[in-house]
Amino acid sequence: MSAKSFNVAVAGATGAVGEVMLQILAERRFPVKNLRLLASERSVGRRLKFKGEDVPVELLRKSAFKGIDIALFSAGASRSKEFAPAAWESGAVVVDNSSAFRMEPDIPLVVPEINPQDIAQYRKRGIVANPNCTTIITIMPLKPLHDYGKLKRVVASSYQATSGAGAKAMAELVAQTKAFAKDEKMEVAAFKHQIAFNVIPHIDAFLENGYTKEEMKMTNEGRKIMGLPDLRVTCTTVRVPVLTAHSISVNAQFEKKITREKAQELIAKFPGCQVMDDPATNVYPMPLFCAGKDDCYVGRIREDDSAENALNLWVCGDQLRKGAALNAIQIAEVLAAKYLQPAAV
């Protein structure tokens, strides 16, 4: 890491992703000179720990970014649209975790292991967009396979943890499980249906084409990140009764045949991916193992008997870390190392 140090703001610091951002900034020893924590009125005055010190939470407002070099946003799309341009006008580069800017053509959408060169486009509007968590975890192992065999088509089915819907959703899963054990009524609020002992094939709003917004995020964002605008993609996103870490079943077809052994080799060499693939000894990725870890874990790798040059993969990753906070901070690390100079104030 550079000897330079930067003034960093975290917008949405008291949310689930914001708190993980603070953990990862400390873990990775990001060169923070001064840290400013920003949130809504109800969180102002709270204190959060960073490197053993209590840092007060301040009000998220347009004037809050004066003197900031890098602003990490995890405050939701409406807040990003309202405050990210003001941060750029104040001199900060924004790394935005929301869906607000991902598909805008003049804003880069980046997974640093896949398309770090696109970060340079931040100069146009001062924003680098962080992809959807499921998109990131899905395409991590697809990149090395594409570089070898040229990707043609992707079919994905996700098994998404409740933490992807926020702290209240996680609490609802726990509360419903406890109620079930006591033979009490289960309250339903965070989801459209009971989540305990159930799976819900519905994440985000349905669109006219029958897909949900979450499903179309994976399609459109994956194409943009990989630089494959015509890639054929279809997916179904499902909420499952898991607290942390998303899982995705991926079927990928290539122009060139890739054997199971070659796929294992390619994925194992790719930064941020680890192969866990020994079915004979019951070794494969699971959310219980992947929660709290940075890498994406890949297993159940096998050649598809039903389609030419196709593979099946099972991918697991912690969507609060690589799927959100870690990816954003990796973008900030590239900005700090290659593009930015600290503010004078």
In whole angstroms, give the CA distance from residue 279 to residue 340.
Answer: 46
Q: What are phi and psi of 18, to 5 degrees?
A: -60, -40
Angle at 226 between CA 222 and CA 228, to 5 degrees: 90
**Residue 166 contacts by C-beta under 8 Å, 6 or more apart in sequence?**
15, 16, 190
Which residues belong to the active site? Answer: 133, 246
The HSE-up count of residue 176 (CA atoms within 13 Å, CB side) is 22
Which residue in the block uniquely carries the two structure tokens 């079927």? 251
CB neighbours of residue 32 within 10 Å: 17
In whole angstroms, give the CA distance from residue 160 to residue 328.
Answer: 20
Q: What are phi and psi of 300, to 5 degrees?
A: 50, 35
Nearest to 62 by CA among 93, 90, 97: 90
In whole angstroms, give the CA distance from residue 16 to residue 284.
Answer: 27
